[in-house]
Amino acid sequence: SQTFSGNIPALSAWDTGPECSICFNSYDNTFKMPKILDCNHTFCLECLSRFITVSPEKEGTQITCPLCRQPTSVPENGPPALTTSQEVLGQLSSDQQEERNVWLEGKKLCYSNPTTPSCICIYIGGTKQDSETGRQEERQSYGNRLLRFLGFYGDWKRLLTLIIVLFILVNVIMYSKTFFSVKNCT
């Protein structure tokens, strides 16, 4: 860095403060709160929460460090209860050095602003595959509802009988038109 009068370093575009090595966003005191793992590597709360949500390891009870692969036990209250890196928090601006109340609510991270009665939540869970599965289940549920309404859900013999009867009925109607067509014979 360049310096101005004396020892005060000049800020450049590269001097934005500490950042998460997963998402490369600067830390803050809410969703990007610096959380430290047992291996002493630090990542933001949002990235760790997303990582735990999609990780197949021990159903969210452990997280493997993305850098060194050392496991860390996740507290019962989830990633927000991991230890906050006070060293990194101390490098933030003075208004961001106090930890805020962030909690896990299903697959959402939520933050309650003490100055307003509302809370802000961000969705941290799921992948494209999860949303495709949800759409497929939604499509199947419409068919299941129709089958339940008609009384055929789970009873394949009744459903097969209905299909055969409808097939015979359609054929009888189609062939009866060809054999019994009315012609004017005068």
Sequence ranges of the domains in the chain: 34-99, 144-176
Q: What is the dihedral of CA 52, 56, 57, 63, to 10 degrees?
A: -20
Encode the chain (186 residues) as per-residue pLDDT tens digits: 444 444 444 444 555 689 999 999 999 989 999 999 999 999 999 999 988 887 766 566 888 898 999 999 999 888 999 999 999 989 988 888 888 889 888 888 888 877 777 788 888 876 545 544 545 544 555 666 666 656 666 677 777 888 899 999 998 888 776 666 555 555
Answer whether 30's CB lies under 8 Å from 114's CB: no
Residue type, 119: C
Q: How far is CA 101 from the centre of its chain?
A: 21
Q: Is 78 helix (H, G, I), strand (E, B) or coil?
A: coil
Sequential DSSP letters for 108-136: EEEEE-TTSS-EEEEE----HHHHHHHHH
Task: Give the three-state DSSP class for 73.
Answer: strand
Regarding pTM above 0.75, the answer is no
